[in-house]
Amino acid sequence: MQHIHIASDHAGFDLKQALARHLTERGHEVVDDGPFTDESCDYPVMAHKLCRAVVREECLGILICGSGLGMSMAGNRHPDIRAALCTTELQASLARRHNDANVLCLGARIIGLELAVAIVAAFLGNGFEGGRHARRLSLLAPVAENR
Ligand code: RB5
Atom of ligand 1 nearest to the CA of 71: 10
Does residue 26 carry a pLDDT above 60? yes
| Predicted local distance difference test score (pLDDT) of residue 146 | 59
Q: Band of the pLDDT at 147, cuts 50, 70, 90? A: low
Concerning whether 98 is annotated as a catalytic residue, the answer is: yes
List pocket residues of ligand 1, CB cut-off 6 Å: 9, 11, 43, 65-67, 69-70
The domain ranges of the chain are: 3-146
Cα of 87 to ligand 1 centre, how many Å? Answer: 16
Query: What DSSP line would sit under 73-131, residue for residue?
Result: HHHTTSTT--EEE-SSHHHHHHHHHTT---EEEEETTTS-HHHHHHHHHHHHT-----T
Give per-residue pLDDT as tens, 67-92. 999 999 999 999 999 999 999 999 99
| Predicted local distance difference test score (pLDDT) of residue 141 | 83
User: For a pocket test of ligand 1, which of 9, 10, 64 has the largest count of ligand atoms closer than 8 A to its C-beta?
Assistant: 9
CATH architecture of 3-146: 3-Layer(aba) Sandwich (3.40)
